[in-house]
Amino acid sequence: MMKDDIEKIVYTAEDLHKKVAELGAQITADYKDAKEPIFCVGILKGAVVFYTDLVRQINLPVQFDFMIASSYGSGTKTSGEVKILKDLDYDIEGKHLIVIEDIIDSGTTMHYLLRYFQHRHPKSVRLCSLLSKPSRRTADVHIDYCGFEVPDEFLVGYGLDYAEKYRNLPYIGILKPEVYTK
């Protein structure tokens, strides 16, 4: 069973639900006077679980769009390179963008993406990340809406993967060390 690979649960499904509801309420309050739908950009695949929960906690019109960017191989260490594997479907000029990400680690991916978005002249850009590992940061990234600050440990579940596994765990946890040597 998948849960037998988990050493420790860091955030339960209930912790996550509570935090996502808080973030959604904060975003709803901040954008209540916006004249047009909030353009929510989810970064696939890691953010997809967080994204679908978060947008349902935003009590305002939102427009969906997704990007696939990759700075990682299938392992746990960043390569420092960012590739856009799927671009936005819509023109973001004049839109209020909220970029929704699972985790800001080194910041390489998001630093690159935020600059990429700015070049397309949105009306505003804010970043919402469920998790942040500040001790690992090498690129400067401002997180407008941050769920939890986490220590430098590799996390899985609720969208986060190790070698494309564990994304569908309903909680966030740490793997047993032997899983990495399998």
The answer to whether 97 contacts ligand IMP (rule: CB under 6 A) is no
Among 106, 113, 132, 169, which residue interacts with ligand IMP (rule: CB under 6 A)? Answer: 106
Residue among 50, 37, 43 at smallest CA distance from 141? 43
| Residue 71 binding target from ligand IMP, Mg ion, none, CB below 5 to 8 Å by type | ligand IMP
- 4 has catalytic annotation: no
Among 16, 51, 99, 107, which residue interacts with ligand IMP (rule: CB under 6 A)? Answer: 107
The amino acid occupying position 32 is K
The answer to whether 42 contacts Mg ion (rule: CB under 5 A) is no
> Using H for helix, E for strand and C for coil, what is the string for 109-150?
HHHHHHHHHHCCCCCEEEEEEEEECHHHCCCCCCCCEEEEEC
The answer to whether 66 contacts ligand IMP (rule: CB under 6 A) is no
Place of tokens 């070698």: 163
Phi, psi torsion values for 31, nearest 5 degrees:
-110, 10
The answer to whether 154 contacts ligand IMP (rule: CB under 6 A) is yes
Q: Where are the alpha helices (DSSP H) in the chain?
A: 13-30, 48-55, 108-118
| Residue 107 binding target from ligand IMP, Mg ion, none, CB below 5 to 8 Å by type | ligand IMP
> 33, 105, 140, 161: which is the annotated catalytic residue?
105
- Looking at the chain, the number of H-run helices and the number of E-run strands are 3, 9
Among 42, 46, 157, 173, which residue interacts with Mg ion (rule: CB under 5 A)? Answer: 46
User: CB under 6 A: which stretch of 33-41, 49-57, 119-127, 152-160 binds ligand IMP?
Assistant: 152-160
Active-site annotation, residues: 105
